[in-house]
Amino acid sequence: MAQQRPRLLRIGPLTIDRDARTACVGEQPLQLTRLEFDLLQTLARQPHKAVSRAELTRDVWGYDPAAAGPSRTIDATARRLRKKLAQAGAEAILHSIRGVGWRLAH
């Protein structure tokens, strides 16, 4: 029997509703693009774990990391997501791990 994934993911003040594809900090909803939400959800599945650029390229963008080549798309999406989180009061939740990737932690 397949294990059910949790509908709600919570990390500190952040709540993600995977089924409704919504996220909020406290009571404040975040207005996220599809890619911003997918990035946030992917990181939230394994909080405190650094997720590599290759994993994000595969899991969020759906590309083979070996064939995709260097891109700043992940950086730009993470920057926009970090700004939206900060505006909602969760500025310290998204962390860049130099040379590795990103992680969510409170």
| Local confidence pLDDT in tens for the 106 residues of the chain | 555 677 899 999 999 999 999 999 999 999 999 999 999 999 999 889 999 988 998 999 888 877 766 678 888 999 999 999 999 999 889 999 998 999 998 7
Q: pTM score, two decimals?
A: 0.89
Beta carbons of 41 and 16 less than 8 angstroms apart = yes
Domain boundaries, the chain: 8-104
The CATH class of the 8-104 domain is mainly alpha
- How far is residue 10's CA from residue 17's CA, in Å, rounded to a whole number? 9
- How far is residue 11's CA from residue 69's CA, in Å, rounded to a whole number? 32
- The pLDDT, as a whole number, for residue 92 is 87
